[in-house]
Amino acid sequence: MKTLSFLVKPVSAGCQLNCTYCFYKDIAENRSRANYGRMRNEVAVALLEKVFQAADADADITFAFQGGEPLLAGLPFYEQFADAVKQLRQPKQNVRYAIQTNGCLLNAAWCSFFHKHNVLVGVSLDGWRKQHDLYRKRKDAGTYADVMRAIQLLRRHHVDFNILSVLSRQLAREPKKLFAFYKEHGFSHVQLIPCLAPLQEKQSAYSLTPELFYQFYRSYFDLWIQDVENKQYQSVALFDNLLLLLQGKTPGTCGMLGECQFQYVVESDGSLYPCDFYVLDEYHCGNVLDTDLLSARDCSRAKAFAYREEPQLCAACPFQPMCHGNCKRLRSVFMNETQCGYQRFLLYAYPKLKEVVEIGAGRKKRREVTG
């Protein structure tokens, strides 16, 4: 295989925080075993052996670590993991690392490791103190100060990082304030993660709605496009992916092509699953201790998971050839029985996005002409 990505859960659902909206805590509560504990070294080695056996000699391989809170695995776990990668990889195989953290455990030692191994760090931060501390709590205390301290550490150690904000219905009502907050703190790469209701519910007090999705992104886009026109580009995951789609390229976010591809989610006991949203018993596709990667990807449960029905609203949508219904788990955020907030946003933003692509293509041609 030429390109491989793995989402590794080194401490399963373990976390020192108790965030109200945590989707993985909800998943853990809907399976026979909520927490599989810390990943054993033999499981990590088995994973790496399977990966490098399946990968082409010049493959691009990404290991992304999430949780729970992946830093709870401890720095020695990652040092041993990186050492094993160095021993097992072939000379032309390119390995990248990423990690998503709440930031509360970060210190200089972690930052030195991230810098040494070029780890891209995703830091969970839901905006200003009052908004962030609304849902991201340790017992009864907020975590905003800890996260901002962690960001300063990352900057001091020259570690690349993105800001990951959960777009709850409360945050979605403050697009201008959030945009200003990002700019004030110099956050140039942000990803807004739609806040989901629990698996067994259609909506919750914090989950995003189609109407709020549209209203938020319309207002945020207006601010973003003004900066683009002034040659100040803020990388926003949704906009970046839409620009890639408009250029006929593959977006970086799974689901934006309307297909459920096998994502190789690896729980801490080595169990394999097709998607981070569905790490459930019914989608268990083997274990790295005894299953090769191709067998997991092609098993009957993986095929059953990939099956999807397109919503009726998609049939007459002008963006259906580009969207194909998007991610089936996120549909509750995008659409309901009467409207699709994603479609409404595209109707509004599409002309300007096309202009951005065309201007970029023109500049590229001029650079090619002038050498």
Length of the chain in residues, anyone?
371
- Please check whether residue 206 is in contact with residue 179, taking contact to mean a CB–CB distance below 8 angstroms: no
Give all strands of the β-sheet with 189-194 in edge-to-edge order: 235-236, 189-194, 161-167, 120-124, 94-101, 60-65, 3-8, 265-266, 272-273
The span from the CA of 242 to the CA of 235, in Å, is 12
The span from the CA of 20 to the CA of 136, in Å, is 7
DSSP 39: P
State the CB neighbour count (10 A cutoff) for residue 300. Answer: 8
The two three-digit tokens of residue 81, written as one number: 């993991």
Residues with Cβ within 8 Å of residue 248, at least 6 apart in sequence: none
Residue 271 C-beta-side C-alpha neighbours within 13 Å:
21
Among residues 240, 276, 281, 292, the one annotated as catalytic is 276
Is 276 one of the annotated active-site residues of the chain? yes
- Please check whether residue 72 is in contact with residue 16, taking contact to mean a CB–CB distance below 8 angstroms: yes
- Give the active site residues: 276
